[in-house]
Structure 1
Amino acid sequence: MGASRVAGARLVSFLADAQARGPQAALRTLNLESLAGRPLPEILVGLADHVCPGAGTVDEGIAREAYVETIVELTSAGITDLDALTADQMLTVFEIYATHAIEARICNDIGTKAITMPADAQAAIRVEAQLRDFIRNGVSDALADARGPSAAPLSSNRVQSFVDQVYEDAFRFLHARGEAESDQ
């Protein structure tokens, strides 16, 4: 999860900078001031190489895939204006990204046979849906402290810590569910 954690920390750092100093100043720092005033998904596309540099390794590819999935989901969630982005929406952006990154990493683990899924297609679909809910809830729970009125900003270390913890919990969950479905 190394590249995904780093990408998540970069994403949060940019969003926090945009909130603190304003989007135009944050974009100017990255030499992307021409994106100021554009919709958030368009800005995030422009930031892709900053947030997820390279895509040569599997881990970097997972980070980039999760980032792209996040951009797609933001439009559906109605989070489209960086100028009006609230602290809660910033955490939602990160929650969506972390969920996609963890899920993609686990799917890769399934592909490399680190986790066994049930042979029955319907059982596998059930397990996948349960996994997605488990991951989203785990990320949401991990971010609960960051959503409070006296919340400290998300640091890179906090991001890395809870992404690792949710990934490990989801891996154990999937392993147990996959085995339980396989035994039936």
Structure 2
Amino acid sequence: MAAERSAVASLAGVLSRASTAPGGIREIVRTLNFGDLADRPIQDVYAALVDHICPPDGDLDDAHARDAYLEAVNEVMQDQPSDLEKPSPETIKDIIGKFIANAVNQRVVTAIGAGIITLPSNPDEIRAVEKGLKDFVRGCVAETMDEFSGDFRAADLRPEIDAIFERAAEVLGERGDDAAKEAAE
């Protein structure tokens, strides 16, 4: 998940700078040479940042990161937080949490597709697993984000981002084991 970790760290850096820059995210977009986007609607600004956050290399890992980021942007825009111009620590945490949850979910789906994780043979059970997977992953990541007591506006976030991904994987494993035990009973 190196591409996703790097992309999340990049996003955290952009949002951190936007939270303190006098012109907010629009000023940051100008400094990244996306000045023509600065006057566009806020959802366009965030969506266009995909090329900075997740450079398009054509690699599957990079594609996962891009998809996870764009899905997170879509979810955030549906929530309509009022501080996207100059994101608060809470908004930064929410955006990053959505990005991480989407990245982890995509990895789980890829593992299922590759046969690393097996699904039941009953189609109804498969649909139930699919329906609950995203919520399950999101809950595990939310738990991990709640444990994080740092400030996403710190200078070097890579160690914290790595720790969040590792802890999310641990929580996912623990909750998955618990769910499997309950299902067996």
> Which consecutive unaligned segments of at least 5 residues does structure 1 have?
none
Correspondence for 2:4: 4
Using the TM superposition, give the Cα deviation of residue 45 of structure 1 relative to its aligned residue in structure 2, in angstroms: 2.0
Structure 1 residues 123, 175: closer, same or farther in 2, change over 3 A? Answer: farther
SS at match of 1:41: helix
> Which consecutive unaligned segments of at least 5 residues does structure 2 have?
none
The structure where helix makes up a greater share of residues is: 1
Structure 1 residues 13, 161: closer, same or farther in 2, change over 3 A? Answer: same
SS at match of 1:137: helix
Using the TM superposition, give the Cα deviation of residue 138 of structure 1 relative to its aligned residue in structure 2, in angstroms: 1.8
1:14 has 2:14 as partner: yes
The number of residues matched between the two structures is 180
Out of 63, 76, 85, the position equivalent to 2:65 is 63
Residue 36 of structure 2 aligns with an amino acid whose one-letter code is S
Using the TM superposition, give the Cα deviation of residue 69 of structure 1 relative to its aligned residue in structure 2, in angstroms: 1.1
Residue 32 of structure 1 aligns with an amino acid whose one-letter code is F
Residue 101 of structure 1 aligns with an amino acid whose one-letter code is A
CA contact (8 A) 1:117 1:178 kept: no
The CA deviation string for residues 102-156 of structure 1, in whole angstroms up to 9 with x for no partner, is 000110011111100111122122223333222212221222244x6xx433612
Structure 1 residues 37, 145: closer, same or farther in 2, change over 3 A? Answer: farther
Question: Counterparts of 2:87 and 2:131 in 1: how far apart (Å)?
Answer: 29
Question: Counterparts of 2:75 and 2:16 in 1: how far apart (Å)?
Answer: 20
Correspondence for 2:84: 82
Correspondence for 1:108: 110
Correspondence for 2:169: 167
Using the TM superposition, give the Cα deviation of residue 54 of structure 1 relative to its aligned residue in structure 2, in angstroms: 2.2
Out of 31, 34, 44, the position equivalent to 1:32 is 34
Using the TM superposition, give the Cα deviation of residue 86 of structure 1 relative to its aligned residue in structure 2, in angstroms: 2.1
Correspondence for 2:139: 137
CA contact (8 A) 2:25 2:86 kept: no
Identity percentage of aligned residues? 26
Correspondence for 2:130: 128
SS at match of 2:49: helix
1:92 has 2:91 as partner: no
CA contact (8 A) 2:8 2:99 kept: yes
- Stretch of structure 1 that moved more, 43-52 or 31-40: 31-40
Residue 138 of structure 1 aligns with an amino acid whose one-letter code is C
Question: Counterparts of 2:179 and 2:114 in 1: how far apart (Å)?
Answer: 18
Using the TM superposition, give the Cα deviation of residue 59 of structure 1 relative to its aligned residue in structure 2, in angstroms: 1.1
Using the TM superposition, give the Cα deviation of residue 12 of structure 1 relative to its aligned residue in structure 2, in angstroms: 1.1
CA contact (8 A) 1:117 1:179 kept: no
